[in-house]
Amino acid sequence: RVNRVKIGDRNLWREYGLLVERFKPLDLGQGHPDFIPNIAKEALLEVANSSDSSIHQYSISNGHPRLLNALSKLYSTLLKRTIDPNTELLSTMGANEALYCAILGLIEDGDEVVVIEPFFDLYVPLIKMAGGTPRFVTLKKSCTGSPNTSADWILDPYALENAFNEKTKAVIMNTPINPLGKIFEIAELQKITDLCRKWNAVCISDEVYEWMVYKPREHVRIATFPGMWERTLTIGSGGKSFCITGWKVGWVYGPDKLMNHLKVIHQMAVYAGSTPLQEAVAIMLEKEIELLGTPESFFHKMQENLKKNRDYVVDVLRRHNFLPVVPDSGIFLIANWSNLESKLNINVKNGDYKDVGFTKWLIESIGLHGMPSTMFYNKENRNEMENFVRFCFIKDHETLEILPKILDKLQ
Applying CB under 6 A, which residues contact ligand GLN?
13, 30-31, 96, 178
C-alpha 400/C-alpha 410 separation (Å) is 17
C-alpha 83/C-alpha 401 separation (Å) is 43
Contact (CB, 8 A) for 150 and 143: no
Residues 159-188 touching ligand PMP, rule: CB under 6 A, are 174, 178
> Out of 16, 75, 100, 120, which residue is the one contacting ligand PMP (CB under 6 A)?
120
C-alpha 323/C-alpha 69 separation (Å) is 45
**Nearest distance from C-beta of residue 282 to ligand GLN, angstroms:** 22
Residues 87-106 touching ligand PMP, rule: CB under 6 A, are 94-96
Asked whether position 29 contacts ligand PMP by CB under 6 A, the answer is no
Q: Find which of ligand GLN, ligand PMP, none residue 95 binds, CB within 5 to 8 Å per kind.
A: ligand PMP
Contact (CB, 8 A) for 78 and 218: no
Asked whether position 278 contacts ligand PMP by CB under 6 A, the answer is no
Run of H or E residues at 168: strand 168-174
DSSP letter string, 110-133: T-EEEEEES--TTHHHHHHHTT-E
Residue 213's nearest CA partner among 160, 143, 157, 151 is 151
Q: Find which of ligand PMP, ligand GLN, none residue 239 binds, CB within 5 to 8 Å per kind.
A: ligand PMP
Q: Find which of ligand GLN, ligand PMP, none residue 30 binds, CB within 5 to 8 Å per kind.
A: ligand GLN
Q: Quick one: 241 or 359, whose CB is closer to ligand PMP?
A: 241
C-alpha 371/C-alpha 17 separation (Å) is 11
Asked whether position 206 contacts ligand PMP by CB under 6 A, the answer is yes
Asked whether position 250 contacts ligand PMP by CB under 6 A, the answer is yes
Run of H or E residues at 400: helix 397-400
DSSP letter string, 20-66: HHHH--EE-SSS--SS--HHHHHHHHHHHH---GGGGSPPPTT--HH
Asked whether position 240 contacts ligand PMP by CB under 6 A, the answer is yes
Asked whether position 370 contacts ligand PMP by CB under 6 A, the answer is no
Q: Find which of ligand GLN, ligand PMP, none residue 153 binds, CB within 5 to 8 Å per kind.
A: none
Q: Quick one: 94 or 324, whose CB is closer to ligand GLN?
A: 94
**Nearest distance from C-beta of residue 13 to ligand GLN, angstroms:** 5
Q: Find which of ligand GLN, ligand PMP, none residue 188 binds, CB within 5 to 8 Å per kind.
A: none
Hey, what amino acid is at 326? V
**Nearest distance from C-beta of residue 181 to ligand PMP, angstroms:** 11
**Nearest distance from C-beta of residue 282 to ligand PMP, angstroms:** 16
ω before 179 within 30° of 0 (cis)?
A: yes
Positions touching ligand PMP (CB under 6 A) are 31, 94-96, 120, 174, 178, 206, 208, 237, 239-240, 245, 248, 250
